[in-house]
Amino acid sequence: MKPFEYQRLEIPQDLASTDAGRFLGGGTNLIDLMKHQIETPDILVDVSRAGMDRIEEMDDAVRVGSQVSNTDLASHPLIRRHYPVLSSALLSGATQQLRNKATTGGNLLQRTRCQYFYDTARACNKREAWKRLRCAQGAQSLSRHSRRQPTLHCCSPLGHGRGDGGSGCCGRHAQT
Amino acid sequence: LILHNGGGGRTFRDDLEGKKITSLRNDCGGWMVNGSACRHLTGLDCPDEEALALYPLKLTVNGTDYDVEIDPRRSLLDLVRETLQLKGPKKGCDHGQCGACTMIVNGRRINSCLSLAVTHEGDSVVTVEGLAKGENLHPLQQAFIDKDAFQCGFCTPGQLCSAAALLDEIREGLPSVITEGEGVAMTDEEIRERMSGNLCRCGAYNNIVEAIRTVSGGER
């Protein structure tokens, strides 16, 4: 793992003044990527204690904090009652150990588990698309390596750890 | 084994000769011997000076308070095994898949290999060493012995921590994917589903389920 500067945020307002680096929630995806040196942030900003772990009932919705764990979300009475598919989907994924640590924000932002993406010795359009290949060039430009396991979003230039992960759940909006 | 540095000068091995070694492998791949600077097998000092930037950390492990300074890259697992010298938790896959490193942090089981130690300021950690009360084994430990719930035992510390947390999760009423309605019935199916984060290459699963069923008062 490459060296990095570690910062811990205690209050959410601090987020606005934070630049560079990656936000660390549960870390079940990011730490793994850092071990593989796919992610090499200079600054790691720990937001897991910044108070963004509430589940609130609103008029016609439920607001879920980005640091709510998968376990807490899946077992919350509101979710069990009104969004049973979401609860079931969460409980179907990973393991109890991972669900205890993984967060809602991280869930939306996690990166693909494709074995080629993880193989840094070889080219991957998704991992380094902004460096070498433009998405617009499409599948023609994908290396033979990447073409062997194409996925629907393989060319999609998802935010590199930021932005909307594109995961609308049960017709709900996801804002990250 | 002779380790050369390529330049004909001192080798890493030279540094080790005749010394009582207390070495520590860093996450950068280098070693610290008897409190030396971080060095690599090339015999050179760590190319990454930043690697030595340490962060203060206070946490409780098995009821004992620790106050340490750590490399922020160090996982909770490495902290516990290498720095605190508690060798119960095992590094199996080191990627959060096998569960051998399972610890209970603030009452919840996690994969300690996927958690940076520096993020655990003030946390209360329980490893397999903390399950027994003095000479009295935890009921699960006794049940594992009685039911022969292991062969090589490598995964057992993780299995035990997982099972101990499982009992609390049942009491708390946390659902699994196969739980229907309110409350949790401790069936073998529930136990298997909830223990699915711990892999055992010996295949002692049946006896593990039996041991947990015995302690939880569940039914087949």
Cβ–Cβ below 8 Å for B108 and A71: yes
Query: What does the mean pLDDT of chain A come to?
Result: 78
How far B197 CA sits from the closest chain A CA (Å)?
A: 5
Mean pLDDT of B205-219: 92
CA closest to B26 among chain A residues = A1
CA distance B114 to chain A (A): 6
How does pLDDT run across A39-71, given as a tens digit for each residue?
999 999 999 999 999 999 999 999 999 999 999
pLDDT value of position A128: 79
Number of separate helices (H) and strands (E) present in chain B: 6, 7
Across the interface, do A32 and B121 touch by the CB < 8 Å criterion?
Answer: no
Nearest-by-CA chain B residue for A26: B115
Predicted confidence (pLDDT) per residue in B102-151, tens digit: 999 999 999 999 999 999 999 999 999 999 999 999 999 999 999 999 99
Q: Do B69 and B54 contact (CB within 8 A), yes or no? A: yes
CB contact under 8 A, A97 and B99: yes
- Of residues A97 and A174, more confidence is placed in A97
Percent of chain B with pLDDT over 70: 75
CB contact under 8 A, A91 and B197: no
Whose CA is closest to B52, among B42, B40, B61? B40
Interface test with A, best of B38, B78, B116 (most A CBs within 10 A): B116
Query: What are the pLDDT digits (tens) for A118-151?
Result: 998 888 888 876 555 444 444 444 444 444 444 4
The answer on pLDDT for B57 being more than 50 is: yes
Residues of A in contact with B120 (CB under 8 A): none
ipTM for the whole complex: 0.80
Range with top average pLDDT, A30-39, A161-170, B9-18, B41-50: A30-39
**What's the pLDDT score for residue B6?**
40
Which residues is B144 bridged to in the sheet? none
* B121/A6 Cβ within 8 A: no
Contact at CB, A91 and B177, closer than 8 angstroms:
yes
Q: Are B152 and B200 in contact (CB under 8 A)?
A: no
Burial of B70 (0-12, 13-18, 19+ CB in 10 A): middle
Q: How far A1 CA lies from chain B's nearest CA (Å)?
A: 6
The alpha-helical segments, DSSP class H, found in chain B are 12-16, 76-78, 139-146, 156-172, 188-194, 205-216
Say if the Cβ atoms of B177 and A44 lie within 8 Å. Answer: no
**Cβ contact (<8 Å) for A92 and B96?**
no
Residue A103 per-residue DSSP state? B
- To the nearest whole Å, the CA of B10 is away from the closest chain A CA by 27
Lowest mean pLDDT among A141-150, B59-68, B87-96, B106-115: A141-150
Q: Which residue has the higher pLDDT, B50 or B191?
A: B191
Instruction: Determine whether the interchain pair B50/A35 forms a contact, defined as Cβ–Cβ distance below 8 Å.
Output: no
Mutant choice from B26, B48, B108, B162 vs A, greatest count of A C-beta within 10 A: B108
Q: Do B72 and A87 touch (CB under 8 A)?
A: no
Q: Which of residues 64-83 of A touch B (CB under 8 A)?
A: 71, 74-75, 80
Distance CA A18, CA B109 (A): 31
Q: Is A56 helix (H, G, I), strand (E, B) or coil?
A: strand
Chain B residues lying within 8 Å of A21, measured CB to CB: none
